[in-house]
Chain A
Amino acid sequence: AQKVTQAQTEISVVEKEDVTLDCVYETRDTTYYLFWYKQPPSGELVFLIRRNSFDEQNEISGRYSWNFQKSTSSFNFTITASQVVDSAVYFCALSRVRGGSQGNLIFGKGTKLSVKP
């Protein structure tokens, strides 16, 4: 069975601090996708990144970076120099590439990030 664990329920930081959101997943599949979504106070889920399990290169996009470690089944998300606008709930998700439930997203419980000025 597939599972995603986001152990941090809530994190609070002060603006300009760096913050890392943890994501650990479980799957027996050799091929899968990992995702991060952001849910701001307005409610919609905003897509941030999709990563194929074959691609273990870290990714950087502006102040955002993602560290994919297959050996520890982790896909952590770091925000550098956090800003108040980063305040949101962040969800990590996993999807299968083959087999039953292919494409369906399996979510973690989310981490609520509060960035204070």
Chain B
Amino acid sequence: EAGVTQFPSHSVIEKGQTVTLRCDPISGHDNLYWYRRVMGKEIKFLLHFVKESKQDESGMPNNRFLAERTGGTYSTLKVQPAELEDSGVYFCASSWGLRTDTQYFGPGTRLTVL
């Protein structure tokens, strides 16, 4: 069974540009999460989808971040326009039906904003 995949693995962009990160969850997982780790800090929750619906986006830092989950399958996280402080590693995780089910993570996307 394929795990959670994320694309790209690395992205280097300039301040003010737009970047879109993609996550493909484990097949059949209803829950999809986005997390972020900025340099030297904890991994922090960004938002949670159940199928195609946003359940909790309390961790999204500001309105420059937009997440979607098309048809309850893959998800994208767009940053527009990117700022220097957006640099970090963005992780995606998925889990089965319950919110308390174990989350399985992808390899992350390392975003560098210059």
Contact = CB atoms under 8 A, between A and B. Distances in A.
Given A45-B91, A109-B41, A109-B42, A103 B99 contact: yes
Given A45-B91, A97-B100, A103 B48 contact: yes
Given A101-B45, A103-B31, A105-B35, A33 B103 contact: no
Given A103-B31, A104-B33, A107-B43, A45 B105 contact: yes
Contacts of A61: none
Interface in A45-78: 45-47, 50
Given A95-B100, A103-B100, A44 B43 contact: no
B14 interface: no
Interface in B24-48: 31, 33, 35, 40-45, 48
A102 interface: yes
Contact residues on B (Cβ < 8 Å of other chain), bracket: 20 to 34
B7 interface: no
Interface residues of A, number: 25
A42 B106 CA distance: 11
A50 B101 CA distance: 9
A44 B107 contact: yes
A107 B36 CA distance: 11
Contacts of B106: 44
Given A44-B105, A44-B108, A45-B105, A104 B56 contact: yes
A105 B35 CA distance: 9
Given A42-B107, A102-B99, 5 more contacts: A45-B91, A47-B104, A104-B45, A105-B43, A109-B41
Interface of A: 4, 33, 35, 37, 42-47, 50, 91, 95, 97, 100-110
